[in-house]
Amino acid sequence: MYNAANAATNENQTMSETIDKGRRQLLTAATTLTGAVGVAFAAVPFLASWKPSARAKALGAPVEIDISKLDPGAMLKIEWRGKPVWVVRRTPEMIDRLGAAEPFLADPGSERSRQPEYARNPSRAVNPEYLVVLGVCTHLGCAPMSRFEPGDAELTTASPGDWPGGFYCPCHGSKFDLSGRVFRGVPAPTNLEVPPYTFADSGHIIIGQDQGSAA
């Protein structure tokens, strides 16, 4: 016998199941779409992180510089960790004058100064032709000036006209030779600091990466 009440109940159950199924399908689709969008947005900063930002460089990420066009006797200035870095391409004459300054230096062997072990030598460099130092006086942090010309009448070491060339800090008179080694009798206590660096090739230097370490 046909029962109208039962028929209505069955019909309501069928409609409810259809609606629930539709809701589940919609929810699944929405979740999948949201997940896909989330993955897409998450991938952007992840991929971007492979390239150091300007902020990352300032905080210490290695910086590669092109020295292929740096003329002999010239100096290149860049920034690393918020500090100036100087790269000087020394001429053979400049390298020869390093020995003449040693009797007047406070730390000629760089025993009390900061530099990587591979720069603890008279030229304070991996390659004697290229000096790499922080352009910050070790006294109070002023910026020394390049005074590369020997015999500068305004600067002396022991007697007038004997200046071998180097750096001069105008703030308090500290003097450094062409390897950044500090002269005796000046306020600066140590040599100019040599940062970690390595040669990527003959025309490029990476500041902030030690010689022989992996990139």
CA 132, distance to chain mean position in Å, is 13
Write down the catalytic residue from 172, 184, 203, 213. 172
58 burial level (CB within 10 Å; 0-12, 13-18, 19+): middle
Nearest CA to 90 among 73, 71, 70? 73
Task: For residue 172, indicate whether it is catalytic.
Answer: yes
Q: What's the CA gap between 159 and 88, in Å, rounded?
A: 26
CA 179, distance to chain mean position in Å, is 21
- Any idea which residues carry the catalytic annotation? 172
